[in-house]
Amino acid sequence: MSNADFTLPEPDADDVAPYTLVGQARARPGQEDALERVLLSLVAPTRREAGALEYHVHRDRADPCLFVFYEAWQSLGHLKAHLQQPYIIDFLSRRMDYLAEDMDVRWLKMASSYAA
């Protein structure tokens, strides 16, 4: 996915909150720790954003080059606002400095009920 097409799919008529995504990022050889620092730098400001329910970054135990991130938002509007934050736009513009390949992002649709 390029910066230009990093857009959310339109919601289905029956979509319900929270709006969630999960992604994977594979570090370039030698950039593993740098990518981890960059991803972790996004945690605190994201968690402070209005509508942020969950924001987590994980490093694969078996493959230290692989990172998985998980986000959940109160509404689609909150998620869209997050993607327009200057620090997110900055990360997206320079992500390939750290990545072996572009991120794999999955936009999830809530299937179970959600209890806050």
Q: Is 6 exposed, middle or buried (0-12, 13-18, 19+ CB in 10 A)?
A: middle
pLDDT, residue 4, reads 37
pLDDT, residue 41, reads 98
Token code pair at residue 82: 């997050």
Calpha distance 1→34 (Å, rounded): 21
pTM over 0.75: yes
pLDDT, residue 55, reads 97
Calpha distance 116→62 (Å, rounded): 32
Calpha distance 100→26 (Å, rounded): 6
- DSSP letters, 69-107, are EEEEESSHHHHHHHHTSHHHHHHHHHGGGTBSS--EEEE
Residues of the chain under the 70 pLDDT cut: 1-7, 116
pLDDT, residue 115, reads 73
pLDDT, residue 116, reads 65
pLDDT, residue 2, reads 38
